[in-house]
């Protein structure tokens, strides 16, 4: 089975073709980061217009890379939510229209299920059950996963997502949007322990997170200690250590609560090297295993949508002719796949 995946939920146009026997046949990604950089964040209307410009040429390029013609596909998967409504509508409309023209099923995909399943694209895919840590620009969630579509939310951020906290703190440190990866790079030059940031909500039971206080803590630390290069690096280090520590503490709790031995991390922040190392060390000590995707499949991409679409199509999901996108869409609402 061969599926074309279309991702346009935010500021990346991602197009990929996945073949269940041969793996990934094509993967095209266009990032709008430069377009939004002047505004310090994603401008929804500009994002939609850029997806309109890029989606069809990238599909053409992916088909060419894979050496395929229209008749060679078995389905077209598109991100139907959650995300920016105008941006979602571009991918959904192109995907649905192409599927109609090529007489194949169209499969609406949940963006976070895409992230969650991205580690399945790697050589050593996780078996069920596992605890998933979804850490991205818009989500911080711990989920119990017992099968495809068998998702129970264990805890989530009550305010900023982890990626959002990285980006906001990076901005305070004078780094460009999205600053998460650059903050992490700066933190490598930082002195461990010069500053200590709080580990929010770890002093009480439960699996929820709160990251909005960390940017205020960062702002106050900058204010009180100046803004020279070493101080900025030390603040970045203290911030990253606090986020990683907090995520690790809650992952450990979720593993104890569920009794699961496997931990899957997904979403943009799962590309963070300090977090990966910390969770790998923790799982080794616990006699378990951690799984994550290669860095380019942690952030938004078409491959994860093609893969999730294939799993869903095999499970009997296919969209109607009318197009519906869902800017908000809880993951736990997805039906299980037998
Ligand atoms: N190495 C890194 N360290 C920390 N944060 C990172 C790193 N790489 C990416 N990020 C963060 O990941 C986020 C982008 O991830 P992703 O593309 O999964 O999010 P999104 O699609 O915007 O949100 P969502 O998937 O929740 O809709 C940004 O906040 C970015 O700063
Ligand atoms: Mg995403």
Q: Is the CB of 180 under 6 A from ligand 1?
A: yes
Q: Whose CA is nearest to atom 19 of ligand 1?
A: 137
Neighbours of 190 (CB within 10 A): 21
Same-domain check for residues 302 and 286: no
pTM of the shown model = 0.97
CA of 229 to the centre of ligand 2 (A): 31
- For residue 99, the domain's CATH number is 3.30.420.40
For position 91, what pLDDT does the model report?
A: 98
In sequence order, which residues have a C-beta less than 8 Å from that of residue 170 and are 6 or more positions away?
Answer: 176, 177, 178, 179, 180, 182, 183, 236
Same-domain check for residues 221 and 317: no
For position 177, what pLDDT does the model report?
A: 85
Q: Which of 42, 138, 163, 165 to mutate to test the pocket of ligand 1 (most atoms within 8 A of CB)?
A: 163
Q: Whose CA is nearest to atom 4 of ligand 1?
A: 180
- C-beta of residue 308 within 8 angstroms of C-beta of residue 76: no
Same-domain check for residues 209 and 314: no
Same-domain check for residues 27 and 173: no
* Per-residue model confidence as pLDDT tens digits over 101-156: 999 999 999 999 999 999 999 999 999 999 999 999 999 999 999 999 999 999 99
- pLDDT bin (cut points 50, 70, 90) of residue 301 is very high
Q: Whose CA is nearest to atom 12 of ligand 1?
A: 268
CA angle, residues 184, 189, 192, in degrees to nearest 5: 90
For position 318, what pLDDT does the model report?
A: 83
> Ligand 1 atom closest to Cα of 178?
31
Q: Is the CB of 271 under 6 A from ligand 1?
A: yes
Same-domain check for residues 102 and 78: yes
Cα–Cα distance for residue pair 78/325, rounded to 1 Å: 10
> Ligand 1 atom closest to Cα of 272?
1
Q: Flag whether 122 is in a domain.
A: no
Same-domain check for residues 30 and 63: yes
Same-domain check for residues 272 and 166: yes
Q: Flag whether 192 is in a domain.
A: yes
* Per-residue model confidence as pLDDT tens digits over 169-216: 999 999 998 899 999 999 999 999 999 999 999 999 999 999 999 999
> Ligand 1 atom closest to Cα of 267?
18
Mean local confidence (pLDDT), 272-288: 98
Same-domain check for residues 140 and 220: yes
For position 60, what pLDDT does the model report?
A: 98
Q: Flag whether 217 is in a domain.
A: yes
Cross-strand bridge partners of residue 76: 4, 106
Mean local confidence (pLDDT), 15-30: 98
Range of the domain at 113: 2-117+297-333
Mean local confidence (pLDDT), 274-289: 98
Q: Is the CB of 269 under 6 A from ligand 1?
A: yes
Percent over 70 (pLDDT), the chain: 100
Cα–Cα distance for residue pair 187/130, rounded to 1 Å: 30
Ligand at minimal distance from the CA of 137 is: 1
Domain total of the chain = 2
Long-range pairs for 33-41 at CB < 8 Å and ≥24 separation? 33/177, 33/178, 35/11, 36/11, 36/177, 37/176, 37/177, 40/171, 40/177, 41/167, 41/177
Same-domain check for residues 132 and 23: no
């Amino acid at each position: 089975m061969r599926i074309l995946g279309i991702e346009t939920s935010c500021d990346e146009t991602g197009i990929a073709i996945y073949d269940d026997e041969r793996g990934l046949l094509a993967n095209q990604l266009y990032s709008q980061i430069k377009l939004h950089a002047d505004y310090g964040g994603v401008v929804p209307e500009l994002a939609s217009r850029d997806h309109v410009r890029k989606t069809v040429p990238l599909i053409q390029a992916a088909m060419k890379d894979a050496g395929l013609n229209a008749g060679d596909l078995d389905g077209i998967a598109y991100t139907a939510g959650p995300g920016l409504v105008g941006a979602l509508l571009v991918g959904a409309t192109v995907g649905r229209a192409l599927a109609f023209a090529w007489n194949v099923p169209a499969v609406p995909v949940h963006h976070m299920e895409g992230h969650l399943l991205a580690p399945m694209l790697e050589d050593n895919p996780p078996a069920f059950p596992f605890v998933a840590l979804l850490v991205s620009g818009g989500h911080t969630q711990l989920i119990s996963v017992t099968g495809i579509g068998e998702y129970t939310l264990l805890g989530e951020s009550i305010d900023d997502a982890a990626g959002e906290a990285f980006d906001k703190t990076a901005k305070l440190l004078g780094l460009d949007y999205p600053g998460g990866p650059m903050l992490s790079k700066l933190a490598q030059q930082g002195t461990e322990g010069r500053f200590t940031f709080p580990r929010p909500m770890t002093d009480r039971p439960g699996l929820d997170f709160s990251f909005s206080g960390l940017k205020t803590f960062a702002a106050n630390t900058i204010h009180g200690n100046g803004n020279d290069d070493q101080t900025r690096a030390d603040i970045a280090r203290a911030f990253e250590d606090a986020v990683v520590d907090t995520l690790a503490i809650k992952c450990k709790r979720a593993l104890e609560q569920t009794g699961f031995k496997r931990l899957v991390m997904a979403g943009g922040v799962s590309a963070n090297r300090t977090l990966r190392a910390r969770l790998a060390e923790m799982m080794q000590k616990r006699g378990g295993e951690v799984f994550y995707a290669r860095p380019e499949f942690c952030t938004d991409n078409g491959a994860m949508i093609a893969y999730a679409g294939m799993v869903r199509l095999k499970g009997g999901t296919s969209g109607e002719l009318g197009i519906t996108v869902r800017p908000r869409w809880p993951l736990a609402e997805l039906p299980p796949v037998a």
